[in-house]
Amino acid sequence: MAASDNVRADNCLTKIQHQRKEPSRKIGEEIVKRQREFMEKGVAYLKPMTMVQVAEVVGVHETTVSRAVSSKYIQTPQGLFEMKYFFTSGIQTSSGEDLSNTSVKDMISDLFKKEDSHTPLSDQEVVKMLSDKGIQIARRTVAKYRSELGILPSNLRKKY
pLDDT digits (tens, 9 = 90+) for 16-65: 555 566 788 899 999 999 999 999 999 889 999 999 999 999 999 999 99
What is the rounded distance in angstroms from the CA atom of residue 70 to the CA atom of residue 49?
A: 16
End-to-end CA distance of the chain: 83
Check whether 4 has a pLDDT greater than 90.
no
Helix (H) or strand (E) holding 99: strand 98-100
| Pairwise pLDDT comparison (17 vs 139), residue with the higher score | 139
Q: Where are the domains of the chain?
A: 24-86, 90-157
CA distance 53 to 73: 20
CA–CA dist 34, 23 (Å, integer): 16
pTM across the whole model: 0.70
Q: What is the DSSP letter of 150?
A: T
- Residues 55 and 131: their CA atoms lie apart, in Å, by 33
Query: Confidence band (pLDDT; 50, 70, 90) for 95?
Result: confident
Per-residue confidence (pLDDT) for residue 12, from 0 to 100? 54
Kindly state which CATH superfamily the domain 90-157 is placed in: Homeodomain-like (1.10.10.60)
What does the pLDDT look like over 99-137, one tens digit per residue? 899 999 999 999 999 999 899 999 999 999 999 999 999
Residue whose C-alpha is closest to residue 154's, from 122, 129, 127: 122
